[in-house]
Amino acid sequence: MQEHSSKVRPSDLKPHRSLFERLTALISPEPENRAELLEVLHDAQERNLIDADALAMIEGVFQVSDLSARDIMVPRSQMDVVDISKPIAEWMPEVLETAHSRFPAVDGERDKVVGILLAKDLLRYYAEESFDVREMLRPVVYIPESKRLNILLRDFRANRNHMAMVVDEYGGVAGLITIEDVLEQIVGDIEDEYDFDEEEDNIIALDNLGNGKRWRVKGLTEIEQFNEVLGSDLSDKEMDTIGGFISNHLQRVPHKGDAFDIGSLHFEILRADARQVQMILVEKRSASYVSEE
């Protein structure tokens, strides 16, 4: 008696697809790039297959791979530091006022960062008579401005670091960045009991350019404050925040990378999710520059 072959054909291992599924695949092929994938995800959110929070986090993951340290760092001029060349009593009030968990420790100059001081280590100052702040310092981690955030996050996790100093091409301190800053690109703002809604943090002045000045502006900044700092006259009759103003101007929620001009102001969206604008780069150009364009 002839035995039947026990071999299984590769085609038999493939799941059976209906005619409808095969036709759908031909009409709606799989996304071939990130933009098409995001379109699929936005469509899924509109059909309530995923919620807005999930979509925002997915978009945040994509943005992290596109952004570098220079895009979200706290600029050098805005850093809260402790100068250990001075008596502790002189800078302790600032430590208590800002209530950060970590501070870059400098030795006389802001470019001379000698370590990272953890606020909790200062408890020994009140308990030990021979307290030496230099012995309390943790090593400094330096990264270039161009370092990608996804790689930085991996390094933070692997090395258990929470703060890094960002240096420019000449080795000078350009700013600082924390693991919280990176995570906020994915999950949105992380607030704790020590976070304060201070208006001066809404608009951060960046480097001066030959054609004007640049600011990094939070989307929730009040238009009134925006006008006051930048000397503009944007209307706040319909919207209260600059993020709302931009969405109203474009008649949609902006996407990262969107850029446009309003008078002498050039706007570029640095961060946005499915719901709102989160961070904007604003450049105020001179009248001569605008007329040339």
At residue 269, the 3 state secondary structure works out as: strand
C-alpha triplet 156, 162, 165: angle, nearest 5°: 90
CA separation, residue 1 to residues 4, 5, 125 (Å)? 10, 13, 93
The CATH code of the domain that includes 160 is 3.10.580.10
Average pLDDT over the chain reads: 79
pLDDT of residue 199: 55
The CATH code of the domain that includes 214 is 3.30.465.10
Tokens of 84: 């250990």
* Final residue of a structural domain among 163, 186, 209: 186
* Among the listed residues 72, 60, 66, the one whose alpha carbon sits nearest the alpha carbon of residue 276: 60
Residue 232 lies in a domain: yes
Segment 105-122 shows an average pLDDT of 90
At residue 271, the 3 state secondary structure works out as: strand
Does residue 175 share a domain with residue 90?
A: yes
Q: What is the band of 14 on the pLDDT scale with cuts at 50, 70, 90?
A: very low
pLDDT of residue 1: 47
| Domains: count for the chain | 2
Residue 267 has pLDDT above 60, yes or no: yes
User: 15-25, pLDDT tens digit by residue?
Assistant: 555 655 554 44
Does residue 175 share a domain with residue 78?
A: yes
Q: Give the range of the structural domain holding residue 265, as residue numbers without chain letter.
A: 200-292
Alpha-carbon gap, residue 121 to 31, rounded angstroms: 51
User: 69-110, pLDDT tens digit by residue?
Assistant: 988 888 888 888 999 999 988 999 888 888 888 999 999 888
pLDDT of residue 23: 47
Residue 281 lies in a domain: yes
Task: Name the E strands within the chain.
Answer: 74-75, 82-83, 102-106, 113-118, 142-144, 163-167, 173-178, 203-209, 212-218, 259-262, 265-272, 277-285
User: 51-64, pLDDT tens digit by residue?
Assistant: 777 777 787 788 78
CA separation, residue 280 to residues 52, 127, 207, 248, 254 (Å)? 21, 46, 15, 15, 10
Residue 290 has pLDDT above 70, yes or no: no
Residue 126 has pLDDT above 50, yes or no: yes
Residue 137 has pLDDT above 50, yes or no: yes
Does residue 277 share a domain with residue 176?
A: no
Is pLDDT larger for residue 278 or for residue 146?
Answer: 146
Percent of the chain with pLDDT over 90: 25
* Final residue of a structural domain among 154, 186, 218: 186
Q: Which residues of 94-109 are buried (b: 16+ CB within 10 A; e: fewer)?
A: ebeeeebebbbbbeee
Does residue 179 share a domain with residue 91?
A: yes
Residue 103 lies in a domain: yes
User: 163-199, pLDDT tens digit by residue?
Assistant: 999 998 888 899 999 998 888 877 766 554 344 445 5
* Final residue of a structural domain among 186, 216, 234: 186
Residue 143 lies in a domain: yes
How many Å is the Cα radius of gyration of the chain? 25
Pair 114, 105: CB distance under 8 Å? yes
pLDDT of residue 291: 45
